């Protein structure tokens, strides 16, 4: 990588003429003290870090929404102004890394900074020409020079302070002219102080006009996704940027009537409050926006978030919200929650089907056809998740499923067989898959989902169910097992199975609280007659702790038989 040096004056003079900010950039956030420190570093000849400029060819410049740099920053209204590139017939640069520093230089040399401190203050950057620059070796963080954002009507001019507006240095191409300009202001001062003021003026002029303080790398690629990757890596210090943050910024810039950032954040919060609660992220909503807007590519790439596509999404936004909401309500009704929706993208084909069906109350319907479709959808979703159908090449699979729906002449029946064929999965479990399923451990990735399979007739809506150890977990501590007189082999067998599906059930939160660590033989005796059938508990003469291995073997046969019949 070859870095190029450039003078501050050259960059400042071309801001908002040749240098702009892409919409993926965050807004300016630096406080006055940080800007003052930047200028102190420049004057003290400390490096200020390299920058990254993206050269955009003239014919490509209109593909992006861009913003101007802030010149007069207002903390009350910090937003950048949309740039108008009409009439610019040349290549331009977008700043990918360095916008906070360049904006700080622009404000410090040409603009103002308005902030609130007891009252609103509009300030400019000044340099005290009378402070002798003596570095503090014991505290290197202490500033060497005295830069300060001050109001123009509050300036002290005595033998300790002589405030020089920093931006005035831009008016002079020659350092001697700049020194001559302050002669009248310093003529009454002792010779030593006059010398100090002239040295600082000369030093400031050199750093702004002569020395190429800024080093930048020029990226010439016109590949949006490559540039986006570069941007993410260049800005990865501190809180790492997410891909979805950048795409959301792009959407925010290009929607006409709605604030994309607010809409998507608010909607994400809204669906996460459904039922037992979810943890969908904005990336799920962005993917869903592409998926539910027909004729759009679904790949999560920057070029797919261009202006025409984003306007289509904006126009379809209410529909997107409606059918994602209907889908989340539906799966909530059938016991799916943040614990067992381990592949959120698997919900999007359901949303697309409901959208094409045009039924936004599908989750509440008791019509025969709708109930049959609900059963099919639940079965498909369970198998798709457990068989990891969306584990790889998910974009291709999602697109192919959407194509299946698009080819359908009718949307009366959920196309279970066609989708499973496309995904390469069967609507049944093999013997090996069942063996694997039964090894899932307490609160594992798929455990809650597997357990929910065991209760096909359960009413899940508005209820909270907990994973519960049938034989209490506390009894399987090695010390307790030894105290029962079990040998090492038996202890190993007990501990192999106690934390798996074979010793787990789903019971209500109140049941779980009351059950606590009650011995199973005692607790089961207090259950209703149908409890064993509902929870797939084998009939046994005795359910004491010594019968645990017998219980595990018998329940295993019951669960295998049940899973084969699904």
Is pTM beyond 0.85 here? Answer: no
DSSP conformational letter for 79: P
Name the nearest CA neighbour of 230 among 238, 219, 240.
219
Rounded to 5°, the CA angle 50-56-57 comes to: 145
Q: 3-class SS at 84?
A: coil
- Give the C-alpha separation, 78 to 396, whole Å: 41
Query: Could you read off the pLDDT tens digit of each residue along the chain, which spans 566 residues?
Result: 578 999 999 999 999 999 999 877 777 889 999 999 999 999 999 888 888 898 988 888 887 778 899 999 998 888 888 888 888 889 999 998 888 999 999 999 999 999 988 789 999 999 999 988 877 666 666 788 999 999 987 776 677 889 999 999 999 999 999 999 999 988 888 999 999 999 999 999 999 999 999 999 888 877 766 776 666 666 654 444 456 666 776 777 678 888 887 888 889 999 998 877 888 988 899 899 999 998 888 887 767 777 888 899 999 999 999 999 999 999 988 778 777 787 899 999 999 999 999 999 999 888 999 989 998 898 899 888 888 888 766 888 999 999 998 888 788 899 998 999 988 888 888 899 999 999 999 988 888 888 888 887 777 666 778 899 999 999 999 999 999 999 999 999 999 999 999 999 999 888 888 888 899 999 999 988 899 999 999 999 999 999 999 999 999 999 999 998 87
DSSP conformational letter for 527: S
Provide the H-helix boundaries in 334-393. Answer: 348-357, 368-386
**Tokens representing 490?**
């038996």
- Give the C-alpha separation, 387 to 401, whole Å: 17
pLDDT the model gives residue 239: 44
DSSP conformational letter for 441: B
pLDDT the model gives residue 231: 67
Question: 349 and 415 in contact (C-beta within 8 Å)?
Answer: no
Alpha carbon of residue 361 to chain centroid: 30
Domain that holds residue 246: 242-427
pLDDT the model gives residue 343: 85
Identify whether 413 is part of a domain.
yes
Final residue in a domain of this structure, among 146, 180, 215: 215
SS3 content of the chain, % helix, strand, coil (to 5): 50, 10, 40
Residue 231 sits at φ, ψ, to 5 deg, of: -65, -45
- Please enumerate in sequence order all residues whose Cβ is within 8 A of that of 490, keeping only pairs 6 or more positions apart, or say none: 481, 549
Whether 343 and 201 share a structural domain:
no
Identify whether 229 is part of a domain.
no
Whether 286 and 402 share a structural domain:
yes
pLDDT the model gives residue 102: 96
Identify whether 130 is part of a domain.
yes
- Give the C-alpha separation, 516 to 524, whole Å: 13
Identify whether 237 is part of a domain.
no
**Tokens representing 72?**
């007069």
Whether 282 and 323 share a structural domain:
yes
- Give the C-alpha separation, 535 to 506, whole Å: 8
Question: 161 and 148 in contact (C-beta within 8 Å)?
Answer: no
CB neighbour class for 513 (10 Å; exposed up to 12, middle 13-18, buried from 19): exposed
- Give the C-alpha separation, 460 to 256, whole Å: 41
Residue 507 sits at φ, ψ, to 5 deg, of: -130, 165
Whether 505 and 550 share a structural domain:
yes
pLDDT the model gives residue 541: 92
- Please enumerate in sequence order all residues whose Cβ is within 8 A of that of 450, keeping only pairs 6 or more positions apart, or say none: 386, 437, 440, 501
Identify whether 435 is part of a domain.
no
- Give the C-alpha separation, 513 to 129, whole Å: 73
For the chain, the farthest-separated pair of C-alpha atoms sits apart, in whole angstroms, at 109
DSSP conformational letter for 157: B
Name the nearest CA neighbour of 326 among 356, 283, 286, 294.
356
Identify whether 225 is part of a domain.
no
Identify whether 444 is part of a domain.
no
Whether 200 and 93 share a structural domain:
yes
Identify whether 109 is part of a domain.
yes
For tokens 């105290």, the residue is 483
**Tokens representing 241?**
């940027």
Residues shown for the chain: 566
pLDDT the model gives residue 334: 78
**Tokens representing 433?**
């898959």
For tokens 């997410």, the residue is 242
Whether 412 and 462 share a structural domain:
no
* H helix or E strand, kind and range, residue 122: strand 119-128
Question: 303 and 296 in contact (C-beta within 8 Å)?
Answer: no
Whether 268 and 412 share a structural domain:
yes
Whether 395 and 461 share a structural domain:
no
Final residue in a domain of this structure, among 170, 200, 215: 215
Whether 555 and 478 share a structural domain:
yes
Whether 200 and 258 share a structural domain:
no
pLDDT the model gives residue 238: 41
**Domain count within the chain:** 3
Whether 408 and 505 share a structural domain:
no
Whether 369 and 262 share a structural domain:
yes
């Amino acid at each position: 990588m070859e870095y190029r040096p450039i003078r501050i004056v050259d960059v400042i003079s071309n801001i908002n003429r040749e240098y702009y900010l892409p919409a993926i950039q965050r807004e300016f956030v630096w406080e006055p003290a940080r800007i003052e420190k930047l200028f102190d570093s420049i004057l003290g000849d400390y490096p200020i870090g390299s920058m990254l400029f993206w050269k955009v060819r003239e014919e490509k410049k209109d593909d992006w929404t861009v913003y101007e740099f802030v010149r007069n920053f207002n903390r009350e209204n910090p937003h950048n102004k949309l740039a108008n590139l009409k009439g610019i017939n040349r290549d331009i640069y977008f700043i990918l890394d360095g916008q906070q520093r360049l904006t700080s230089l622009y404000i410090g040399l040409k603009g103002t900074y308005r902030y609130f401190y007891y009252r609103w203050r509009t300030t400019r950057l000044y340099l005290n020409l009378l402070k002798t620059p003596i570095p503090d070796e014991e505290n290197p963080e202490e500033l060497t020079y005295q830069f300060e954002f001050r109001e123009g009507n509050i300036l002290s001019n005595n033998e300790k302070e002589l405030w020089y507006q920093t931006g005035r240095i831009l008016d002079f191409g020659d350092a001697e002219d700049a020194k001559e300009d302050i002669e009248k202001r310093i003529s009454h001062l002792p010779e030593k102080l006059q010398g100090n003021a002239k040295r600082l003026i000369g030093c400031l002029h050199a750093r702004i006009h002569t020395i190429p303080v800024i080093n930048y790398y020029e990226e010439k690629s016109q590949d949006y996704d490559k540039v986006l990757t570069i941007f993410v890596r260049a800005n990865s210090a501190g809180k790492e940027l997410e891909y979805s943050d950048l795409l959301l910024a792009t959407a925010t810039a290009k929607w006409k009537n709605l604030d994309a950032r607010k809409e998507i954040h608010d909607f994400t919060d809204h669906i996460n409050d459904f039922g037992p609660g979810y943890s969908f992220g904005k990336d799920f909503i962005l993917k869903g926006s592409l998926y539910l807007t027909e004729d759009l590519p679904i790949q999560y790439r920057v070029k797919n978030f261009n202006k025409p596509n984003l306007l289509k999404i904006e126009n379809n936004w209410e529909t997107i919200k409606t059918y994602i909401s209907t889908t989340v309500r539906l799966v909530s009704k059938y016991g799916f929650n943040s614990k067992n929706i381990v592949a959120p993208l698997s919900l999007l084909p359901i949303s697309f089907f409901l959208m094409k069906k045009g039924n936004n109350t599908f989750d509440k319907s008791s019509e025969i056809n709708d109930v049959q479709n609900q059963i099919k959808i639940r079965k498909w979703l369970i198998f798709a998740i457990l068989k990891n159908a969306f584990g790889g090449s998910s974009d291709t699979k999602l697109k192919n499923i959407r194509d299946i729906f698009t080819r359908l002449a009718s949307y009366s029946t959920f196309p279970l067989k066609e989708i499973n064929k496309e995904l390469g999965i069967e609507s049944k479990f093999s013997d090996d898959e069942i063996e694997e399923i039964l090894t899932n451990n307490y609160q594992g990735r798929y455990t809650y989902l597997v357990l929910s399979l065991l209760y096909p007739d359960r009413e899940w809506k508005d209820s909270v169910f907990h994973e519960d150890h049938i034989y209490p977990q506390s009894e399987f501590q090695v010390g307790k097992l030894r105290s029962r007189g079990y040998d090492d082999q038996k202890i190993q067998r007990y501990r192999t199975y106690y934390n798996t599906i074979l010793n787990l059930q789903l019971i209500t939160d109140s049941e779980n609280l009351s059950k606590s660590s009650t011995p199973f033989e005692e607790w089961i005796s207090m259950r209703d007659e149908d409890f064993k059938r509902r929870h797939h508990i084998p009939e046994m003469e005795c359910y004491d702790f010594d019968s645990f291995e017998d219980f595990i073997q018998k329940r295993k046969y019951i669960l295998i038989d049940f899973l084969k019949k699904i």
